[in-house]
Structure 1
Amino acid sequence: MFIFTPYLCFISVPLRASSIDIHPNAKWSQNGITVAGGNGEGSEPNQLNFPCGFYVDEDQTIYVADCWNHRIVEWKSGATNGKIVAGGNGDGTHQLNGPQNVIIDKESDSLIISDRGNNRVVRWPRRNGTHGETIISNIACLGLTMDDNGSLYIVDNEKHEVRRYKTGDTKGTVVAGGNGKGNRLDQLYSPTYVFVHRDHSVYVSDYFNCRVMKWEE
């Protein structure tokens, strides 16, 4: 079983989503509301156990990487229970093992999952899928995202780098780091999260260097 170190959280939203104009004098509620889980740790439909990354779709549906339950859970807006859409049958190579992050590939209507405990990235059918397909293997994957061309950007925490994978690519191209761990401007040290701007600049949270790095194309 993959042992997760609890210091990571990944948030993803659709890159293709329309921009939202926020009034300069906008105010937020003083109290938040629970939109997924909130009933203590556990594996029941209304519970989560060490949720890590999550993805918010345009219709406000939330997909949660429920790490210690080894599953991805879909929470519709206003729902009191989640629905398992990937994993959920224990850890293992034919399931999920400590998933860290999840995004949606709209073109194939599938989930792309950072299956950290199995050192792979998995594509899982979004609707009624019973098993996933390994699309990238032998990678200490944490954060991942997709640009508007459909290329995947994946953090390799142990190689201290971010790689871009175009459609059909299994080796990828280093776009950030890749020069061993360190604090030079061409290095990363245990990167965790990645964000890709529309101009393809890559932003990386560089955990042990206590900084956020920007890498221009």
Structure 2
Amino acid sequence: MVFEFHSYTKCDAKQESVYRTKNLQLIVNVPANANWAQNGVTIAGGNGQGGATNQLNQLQGLFFNDDQTVVIADWGNHRIMQWNNGDTKNGQVVAGGKGAGNGLNQLNGPTDVLIDKETDSLIICDWGNQRVVRWSRRSDTTQGEILIDHIACYGLAMGEERNLYVSDNGKQEVRRYKLGEKIGTLVAGGNGQGAGLNQLNYPTFLFVDQQQNVYVPEWKNHRVMKWSKDATEGIVIAGGQGAGSALTQLNGPLGLFVDTVGTLYVVDEFNHRVMRWTQGANQGTVIVGGNGPGAGANQLNLPVGLSFDQHGNFYVAEYINGRVQQFSIQ
């Protein structure tokens, strides 16, 4: 589910194809013929929507960290939750959780989060407060600091040299910031709301590859765009055929991931599925879901966030079911 503003290094020595760039963004070479279990396993939440430590409420983006923890933007509870590997019963509040507000100890509808290991901190898109904030991961942390203000942020990614990329669905653009910068550099959109190749229409989550290509799902244009470094317009790499459920279409694309050979994995929200689009393909394939909205192990209900681990397993955050599902690579 998307919300609108109306006011306007190696990871595993055994896997040579898996490593993290300096930005700690996971890069995975997924086999072209890979398949995943069709039944997901709940690793966080799944106990109905609510504010208890074993619950999530209208969750958004998530970030999987080295097989140890997953951090989740718990939009409806105005907090960031951390769930440790092996403990599927209860999570821990690591930012916010003090009700909706704009105090430095509060969040208001966070939509995305990532971990910056260099500073051992969380970087959070605080959507309702129109700001990007940083919270230390130290256990004695009680408040965050503002990195960027007056921005209708939705998605975050960290590229090479720890540059921060932020989507702004008020200005319909994506900017790249050196940490500490307030203005940033335009890297996608910025030409008003529309369907032109130089425009965006409600950009959400982001992915940045090693070549500094920026991948942007457009929720209202039902497409995913690839913007090369210094490009003045993007190219459509998935969807763009209007909202629909055909294999050539997307209906509300959100969380995404791109592997080392350029294969795109994208959450297709209103079709309740995750799709794979190989580079240059004019249609995708359904890899999980697509069985109608529901809470079954083989179903998704308004999937939103997507994250991979170093083994090629992936994790889907569901807005309605209030859970994170793991789908294991076969």
Fold conserved between structures, TM > 0.5 = yes
| Residue in structure 1 matched with residue 96 of structure 2 by the alignment | 87
Residue 145 of structure 2: which of 129, 133, 140 is its match? 133
1:117-161 deviation per Cα after TM superposition (whole angstroms, max 9, x unaligned): 001000001122210100100000001110121000000001000
Query: Please, what is the CA RMSD of the aligned residues?
Result: 1.8
* Larger RCO: 1 or 2 (CA < 8 Å, sep 6+): 2
The separation in 2 between residues aligned to 1:199 and 1:172, in whole angstroms, is 19
Identity in percent: 53
Structure 2 counterpart of 1:36, one-letter code: A
| Residue in structure 2 matched with residue 109 of structure 1 by the alignment | 120
| Residue in structure 1 matched with residue 69 of structure 2 by the alignment | 61
Match of 2:57, SS? coil
Deviation at 1:24, TM superposition (A): 5.5
The separation in 1 between residues aligned to 2:98 and 2:31, in whole angstroms, is 45
| Residue in structure 2 matched with residue 97 of structure 1 by the alignment | 108
| Residue in structure 2 matched with residue 3 of structure 1 by the alignment | none
1:18-58 deviation per Cα after TM superposition (whole angstroms, max 9, x unaligned): 65455566543332110100000111110001110100001
Structure 1 counterpart of 2:180, one-letter code: G
Q: 2:25 touches 2:159 (CA, 8 Å); kept in 1?
A: no
| Distance of aligned partners of 1:131 and 1:189 in 2 relative to their CA distance in 1, 3 Å threshold | same
Q: 1:17 touches 1:58 (CA, 8 Å); kept in 2?
A: no
Q: 1:163 touches 1:173 (CA, 8 Å); kept in 2?
A: yes
| Residue in structure 2 matched with residue 118 of structure 1 by the alignment | 129
The separation in 1 between residues aligned to 2:25 and 2:114, in whole angstroms, is 14
The separation in 2 between residues aligned to 1:44 and 1:66, in whole angstroms, is 12
Structure 1 counterpart of 2:77, one-letter code: N
Match of 2:220, SS? helix
TM-score (norm 1): 0.90
Q: 2:154 touches 2:168 (CA, 8 Å); kept in 1?
A: yes
The separation in 2 between residues aligned to 1:117 and 1:22, in whole angstroms, is 36
The separation in 2 between residues aligned to 1:139 and 1:23, in whole angstroms, is 38
The separation in 1 between residues aligned to 2:166 and 2:61, in whole angstroms, is 13
The separation in 2 between residues aligned to 1:91 and 1:7, in whole angstroms, is 18
Q: Which has the larger radius of gyration?
A: 2
Structure 2 counterpart of 1:61, one-letter code: T
| Residue in structure 1 matched with residue 83 of structure 2 by the alignment | 75
| Residue in structure 2 matched with residue 153 of structure 1 by the alignment | 165
Residue 46 of structure 1: which of 33, 46, 54 is its match? 54
1:45-90 deviation per Cα after TM superposition (whole angstroms, max 9, x unaligned): 1000111010000124110100010000000012110000000010
The separation in 2 between residues aligned to 1:190 and 1:21, in whole angstroms, is 29
Deviation at 1:206, TM superposition (A): 1.5
| Distance of aligned partners of 1:166 and 1:49 in 2 relative to their CA distance in 1, 3 Å threshold | same
| Distance of aligned partners of 1:216 and 1:22 in 2 relative to their CA distance in 1, 3 Å threshold | closer
| Distance of aligned partners of 1:23 and 1:157 in 2 relative to their CA distance in 1, 3 Å threshold | closer
Structure 1: gaps spanning 5 or more residues:
1-5, 9-13
Structure 2: gaps spanning 5 or more residues:
4-19, 230-330
Match of 1:192, SS? coil
The separation in 1 between residues aligned to 2:159 and 2:102, in whole angstroms, is 28
| Residue in structure 2 matched with residue 11 of structure 1 by the alignment | none
Match of 1:34, SS? strand
